[in-house]
Structure 1
C-alpha cells in the first residue's frame, strides 16, 4: 500500500485493518494506524476534520477504536471532493 496516497482514497482499506472494540487510543496510535503524522491528527482535531475524540481531563485526548472505524467508513463513501457538499 502506498503510504503517501491521500487518506480518503485508502480510508476503506485502513478501516479494515482496525479491529473492533471500544478501547481508547492516543494520538500517536491513531496517527500510526492512519499512516499520517501526529501533527495531522492534532490539526484535524482543532479544525474539525479529524476523527471524533474524547477529552479526558485538561490535556488528555483519546479516540475510541470503533468511532475511528466509523469515521473512516464515512470518508470512504465519497469518490470526489464535489460529493462532500452534496446533500444525501
Structure 2
C-alpha cells in the first residue's frame, strides 16, 4: 500500500530539499501545504507534494510566475 502521509523528513527527501526548508516554510506561510495531526504532528500528503512540484515548473530562470 502506498503511504499517503509523509512526515517532514520523508517529505523533504521526496522533494529533494532540506527538512529545515520545510520547517521554515511552515513558519513563514507554507507554500508547501501540510496537515497538523493533533497538537504537534505535521504531515504532508503525497498529492499536495506532487501539486507543489507541478506549480514550480518554469520555462525561464527569470520567470517568477508559472504559466
User: TM-score when scaled to structure 2?
Assistant: 0.77
* Pairwise CA RMSD: 2.4
Shift of 1:37: 1.4
Shift of 1:80: 4.2
How many residues align? The count is: 66
User: TM-score when scaled to structure 1?
Assistant: 0.61
- CA change 1:78–1:52 in 2 (3 A) is farther
Structure (1/2) with the larger helix percentage:
1
Give unpaired runs (5+ residues) of structure 2. none
CA contact 2:15–2:49 (8 Å) conserved in 1: no
1 CA distance for matches of 2:4 and 2:14? 14
